[in-house]
Amino acid sequence: MSASTKTQTLAALQVRPVCHVIDGRLVGSERSADVIDPATGQPFGRCPQASPDQLDAAVAAARRAQPAWAARPLAERRNCLHRLADAILAHEPELAALITLEQGKPLKDAHAEVARAASQIRLLTELVIETEVVRDDARGRVELRYRPLGVVGAITPWNMPLVLSVPKIAHALYTGNVIVLKPSPYAPLATLRLGELAHDLFPPGVLNVLAGDHALGQHISEHPGIDKISFTGSIATGKRVMASAAGTLKRVTLELGGNDAAIVLDDVDPEAIAPKLFAGAFVNCGQVCMAIKRLYVHADIYEPLVDALGRIARATRVGNGFDPDVQLGPVQNLAQFKIVQDILDDTRRAGARFVAGGHALEGGQGYFIEPTIVADITEGTRLVDEEPFGPVLPVIRFTDVDDALSRANSTRFGLGGSVWSRNVERAAAIAARLEAGTAWVNHHVGADAQVPFGGAKQSGRGREYGKAGLREYMEEMAVFIPSSRL
């Protein structure tokens, strides 16, 4: 089934090239670029590259469409988004195959991504932002009302193409905004196909999807016709987005990188929790902003847990995502592949112990790196201090919990973190001291569409999901109403 799905998808790309969606129309561009299959390192399709004029046209169409879209009753906007969720599920096999081709993850994980994208729409649209009463007394009534900002520019990364694009669409459209969305040039096709499926589900101009390089992203951030930027990606790029948006004082939401710490206390069973920790670190080949990137383990259970993790890593099958037996795919692009290799080289020079992995897979095709467990390492190395964003996990020894917390918090990152213990109350108290936007107990990775998510420190600005996330797409307005008439 996997092989035939891949063949059918490749054939469809030859017959029907993907297009931008601008003002409700499917359009191409004079320029196009290769899209690389990370499992082979070779191009498998072409992607149109939007020009500045096409961006201007999309923004103009969005501005024309926004007032009428905002005037629609909330229930109508919700129904339109539910139809989008239905379309996503109806085309799940095609969208999943595109994700595996361009992103590399196993096909079953791509199917899960598509299903989750659809469910996020339904969960978000169960929430309602209502007028809040701040005061109602003899002095009068004061209300907080929320209205849409206007045109949202959204820029998404390559690690989870649909699951990070669809919520931005849902946040924006549900709250009465319209959107111009740009996917990563490394993995644009599934998002462009989503735009094609949705182009006639909304009025023209409400949903625009344009592909392009990083220069197009800068144009979106700077564009005077865009009122808000929602960006997910690296800290370095997030800073550039924020600087570009400053010229027009756009509202900005940034969900940026993480170097999440997991702290494992001395009362756990190493064999029991090793699979959960491995999954939290190596999900999507370690290419998840909220994955475990640093594992702090109490000295009393350090060696048994390191050994258990090493055995899991060595038994994990890495390969082409269309192989049904594969558990981890490749690193998504050549640039990131080289970064991970450089970090591995630095780790060897530091004298750390490689318990499992540590090398690119032999064979020369694709961007595959063995699942790697590194022990006897500490702060001051790139692997611990930076975010490798690949299948590599450092395991760090500690003896004092306060010391482990201090080390976990001594970083510019602050996306997520977790604490693992049989004593849930103790673990929760420790987790609450993590300097992060999200903390888990006996679990790691996972965002709930009805719970705000975002980063502390340099891991982000603002929130997405939940009512707080929806409000990020709206302007808060205080309305003072007197208690007596003139």
The contacts of residue 240 (CB under 8 Å, 6+ apart) are 218, 221
Alpha carbon distance 249, 362 (integer Å): 50
CB neighbourhood size of 136 (10 A): 12
DSSP code at position 1: -
CB 339 within 8 Å of CB 391: no
CA 31 to mean position of chain CA atoms: 28
> CA–CA separation, 268 vs 277, rounded Å?
12
Report helix, strand or coil for 420. strand
Per the residue annotation, which of 19, 113, 289, 472 is the catalytic one?
A: 289
- The H or E element that residue 102 is part of is helix 92-103
Among residues 102, 196, 222, 255, the one annotated as catalytic is: 255
- Residue 159: which of 360, 474, 387 has the closest Cα? 387
Q: What whole-number distance in Å separates Cα of residue 391 and Cα of residue 152?
A: 34
Query: What gap in Å lies between CA 392 and CA 82, rounded to an integer?
Result: 38
Rounded to whole angstroms, the Cα distance separating 143 from 164 reads: 33
Three-state SS sequence of 195-244: HHHHCCCCCCCCEEECCCCHHHHHHHHHCCCCCEEEEECCHHHHHHHHHH
Q: Which helix (H) or strand (E) holds 398?
A: strand 392-398
Beta strands in 28-72 (DSSP E): 31-37, 42-49
255 is catalytic: yes
- Cβ neighbours of residue 453 closer than 8 Å, sequence gap 6 or more: 255, 437, 438, 447, 463, 464, 465, 466, 469
Give residue 182's Cα distance to chain centre: 14
First-to-final CA distance of the chain: 74
CB 431 within 8 A of CB 440: yes
Write out the catalytic residue numbers: 255, 289
